[in-house]
């Protein structure tokens, strides 16, 4: 099984000690966010084909990645770097620092072990289409040679996202904007900018657009990192998703970074409370019994 850690929260930023403790124990427990009994997920090398980590800040997780590498357990880091204004991203590392961290990953584990994510693409009066074109150009140049792929997506109107974005707009004096009339043409312009630095652009779950689709959980990429074949069946999470099968071990409402567009956090105050109550040696990431 491939372990996803996690599209529900930023485990590398906040929960590295917990992950290390669970890795040493050989398992963790995960609540089903939609109800049902909790799951026990093995983290033993015999049961885990590889890990995919999702993060804005891999710095605190560096010792854990080094330990996984020593154990021969392959991983890929999906790292989001957008450099949005602080009104949209309250507590993520500045873009320059994030680029340094990304390049350190590539230097240590190779460019196939790190994927740049520029998502979601959010259109506001602070970040109109021309801003994104300039920003992708700037970041692609800074990341040239450290990765071969950038994953993008257009911001979805999730209920949590709409509420959090409206609150941020009221607090900081900006306004949402509609997407371009021709989103496919816009993505094509972005892709051309990235391609100038030998970075291929893929889109995460945009089935209505004829654009190369991303495979965020990718057994092929893990195989390249591991230097051996890793097999997994295709099992997307929603229509248009090409991800291979995985088990996510994160929890919603546990990332305190305060991104205004986040789909995984009801509100930042709740996430901060959950983070404060977290026990690094618990079986669960957050909540009773953690």
pLDDT by residue for the chain (290 residues), tens digit each?
999 999 999 999 999 999 999 999 999 999 988 777 899 999 999 999 999 999 999 999 999 999 999 999 999 999 999 999 999 998 999 999 999 999 999 999 999 999 999 999 999 999 999 999 999 999 999 999 999 999 999 987 667 778 888 888 999 999 999 999 999 999 999 999 999 999 999 999 877 788 888 999 999 999 999 999 998 777 766 667 788 999 999 999 999 998 998 888 988 899 999 999 999 999 999 976 65
Note the pLDDT of residue 208. 77
- SS3 (DSSP) at 173: coil
Taking the C-alpha atoms of residue 231 and residue 62, their distance in angstroms, rounded to an integer, is 27
Note the pLDDT of residue 288. 67
Classify residue 286: in a domain, yes or no: no
Give the tokens for residue 118.
């520029």
Classify residue 284: in a domain, yes or no: no
Q: Which residue has the tokens 């880091």?
A: 77
How far CA 37 is from CA of 32, 40, 88, 256, in Å, comes to: 7, 10, 36, 26
Note the pLDDT of residue 238. 67
85, 127 in Cβ contact below 8 A? yes
The model carries a pTM of 0.94
What residues does 2 pair with on adjacent strands?
50, 246
Classify residue 97: in a domain, yes or no: yes
Number of Cβ within 10 Å of residue 99's Cβ equals 21
Task: Phi first, then psi: give them for residue 259, nearest 5 degrees.
Answer: -70, 130
Number of domains in the chain: 1
Taking the C-alpha atoms of residue 20 and residue 29, their distance in angstroms, rounded to an integer, is 14
Classify residue 218: in a domain, yes or no: yes
Q: Which residue has the tokens 């989001």?
A: 80
Note the pLDDT of residue 211. 87
Classify residue 176: in a domain, yes or no: yes
Give the tokens for residue 248.
């996510």
Classify residue 288: in a domain, yes or no: no
Note the pLDDT of residue 117. 98
Classify residue 287: in a domain, yes or no: no
Note the pLDDT of residue 5. 96
Classify residue 290: in a domain, yes or no: no
Among residues 86, 81, 82, the alpha carbon closest in space to that of 173 is found at 86
Note the pLDDT of residue 159. 73
Q: Which residue has the tokens 């004096």?
A: 173
Note the pLDDT of residue 161. 79
List the domain range (segments joined by +) for residue 188: 2-277
Note the pLDDT of residue 236. 61
């Amino acid at each position: 099984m491939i372990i996803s850690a996690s599209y529900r929260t930023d485990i590398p930023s906040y929960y590295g000690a917990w992950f290390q403790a669970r890795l040493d124990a050989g398992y963790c427990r995960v609540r089903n966010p939609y109800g049902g009994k909790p799951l026990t997920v093995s983290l033993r090398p015999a049961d885990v084909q590889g890990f995919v980590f999702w993060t804005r800040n891999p710095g605190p997780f560096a010792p854990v990645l080094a330990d996984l590498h020593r154990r021969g357990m392959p991983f890929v880091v999906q790292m989001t770097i957008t450099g949005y204004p602080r009104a949209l991203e309250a507590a993520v590392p500045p873009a320059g620092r994030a680029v340094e961290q990304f390049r350190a990953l590539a230097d240590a584990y190779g460019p196939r072990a790190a994927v740049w994510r520029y998502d979601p693409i959010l259109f506001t009066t602070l970040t109109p289409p021309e801003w994104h074109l300039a920003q992708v150009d700037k970041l692609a140049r800074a990341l040239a040679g450290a990765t071969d792929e950038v994953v993008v997506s257009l911001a979805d109107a999730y209920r949590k996202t709409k509420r959090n974005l409206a609150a941020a707009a009221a607090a900081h004096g900006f306004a949402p904007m509609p997407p371009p009339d021709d989103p496919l043409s816009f993505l094509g312009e972005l892709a051309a900018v990235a391609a100038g630095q030998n970075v291929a652009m893929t889109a995460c779950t945009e089935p209505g657009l004829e654009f190369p689709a991303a495979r965020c959980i990718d057994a092929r990429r893990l195989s390249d990192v591991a230097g051996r074949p890793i097999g997994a069946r295709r099992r997307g999470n929603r229509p248009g998703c090409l991800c291979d099968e995985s088990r996510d071990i994160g929890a919603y409402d546990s990332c305190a970074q305060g991104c205004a567009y986040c789909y995984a956090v009801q509100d930042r105050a709740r996430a901060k409370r959950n983070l404060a109550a977290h026990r690094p040696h618990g079986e669960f990431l957050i909540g009773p019994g953690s």
